[in-house]
Amino acid sequence: MPRKAAHGNLPSSHHPNHILTTTELIVTAGESPKRLDQFLANREPRLSRTALQRLILEGHITVGGQPVKPSHKIKPGDRIRLCIPRPQPLEINPEPIPLEILYEDEAILVLNKQAGLVVHPAPGNWTGTLVNALLHHMLQTGSLSTIGGKERPGLVHRLDKETSGVMVVAKQDEAHAHLAAQFKRHSILRIYEALVWKGPRSSRGTIELAIGRDARERKKFSSRTMKPKPSATEYVVHERLGALAAHVVLYPRTGRTHQLRVHLATMGCPILGDRVYGGKKVMVLGAVSVPRVMLHARVLGFLHPVTKEAIRFEADMPQDMQEVLAQLRVQAEADLCP
């Protein structure tokens, strides 16, 4: 069993003041030989395999007191010491990134996020995010709520990098708390639209599937998970594009990570451009090349956190999705008249 260990004689870079937690693991007799990073990824679900590899290379993870490589093969009896350092303060700089603001007052800001914009800083995207853009905007118009912490100021919810559409940002902590409560109750009105491969058999229906982080592929979400959470999505087929694809409207009842992408893929009609859940087949359809995940958050409705008035915001399908939709219509017509 993992146990907290005494710090002992640590190098200066591993001084107790710099360490958040220290854990020791003993490889059991029944454990088959495998890479150290693979072994730890199964035992420490809090950390991604990439994060574990970085900790190993930085010397925060040792085997038998010695630094090793991520590919080091563990064997029964090995004593693994895992030191997780305290996160270093992250300096997020304001950046003049254009924003399409739909509404703003002293409590909230509503915007139409462009596709390709990462919402908050994270490994691989420390700059050029929506948060950087918001901080620049707030230099003139005020501040952001602090509930989300230093890395996610103002963020009550998020959209994936390639998903476009309406988002609400909190400028005050009290507004943030009110909005977060609405999201938790699933009382927020959210309407998405997507272009999907082939299309659902029924013209409307509800997908109900408990999902969570995939037990084998940490970057994916699925029903194959150790911590399933109930999720439901209503869908309506707005337009069928021959046998190639369909334009669907989605009404998520819950807000799980990757919910719409997983639900549609599970139903056999993954979102076009979503290589993670649809593979290569959703990237090119006949003569139509798909540039990104064809998912757009069209409508967001909620109670204003200060006035308690019901408000609703809508953003039209962006140009790149409109172009793919038009090309799919042409392709469908060509398939009907060879």
pLDDT by residue (tens digit) across 205-245?
A: 999 999 999 888 888 999 998 889 999 999 999 999 999 99
pLDDT at 45: 66
pLDDT at 91: 78
The yes-or-no verdict on residue 133 having pLDDT over 80 is yes
The yes-or-no verdict on residue 3 having pLDDT over 70 is no
Q: Is 335 annotated as catalytic?
A: no
pLDDT at 38: 87
The single residue of 78, 160, 274, 320 carrying the catalytic annotation is 160
pLDDT at 10: 40
Answer positive or negative: Cα dihedral of 13, 67, 32, 212: positive
Tokens of 37: 């990073």
Of residues 120 and 189, the one with the higher pLDDT is: 189
pLDDT at 151: 81
Q: Tell me: the pLDDT tens digits for 151-187?
A: 889 999 999 999 999 999 999 999 999 999 999 999 9
Architecture in CATH of 3-85: Roll (3.10)
Domain with CATH 3.30.2350.10 in the chain: 89-185, 186-338
Q: Are the CB atoms for 60 and 75 separated by under 8 Å?
A: no
pLDDT at 109: 97
The yes-or-no verdict on residue 336 having pLDDT over 80 is no
Instruction: Give the fold, CATH level 3, of 89-185.
Output: Pseudouridine synthase (3.30.2350)
Architecture in CATH of 186-338: 2-Layer Sandwich (3.30)
pLDDT at 101: 97
pLDDT band at 313; cut points 50, 70, 90: very high
**CA dist 268 → 186, 199, 264, 272, 290 (Å):** 26, 8, 7, 12, 18
pLDDT at 325: 97
Work out the average pLDDT over 11-36: 71
From the list 243, 252, 164, 233, the residue with the least C-alpha distance to 196 is 243
pLDDT at 158: 94
* Cα gap 134→99, rounded to integer Å: 8
Percentage, residues of the chain above pLDDT 70: 91
**CA dist 15 → 3, 87, 177 (Å):** 19, 14, 37
The yes-or-no verdict on residue 15 having pLDDT over 80 is no
Q: Tell me: the pLDDT tens digits for 257-288?
A: 999 999 999 999 999 999 999 999 999 998 99
**CA dist 199 → 159, 240, 246, 251, 273 (Å):** 23, 7, 5, 16, 14
Output the DSSP codes for 214-259. Answer: BSS-TT-EESSBSS-B--EEEEEEEEEETTTEEEEEEEESS--TTH
pLDDT at 221: 93
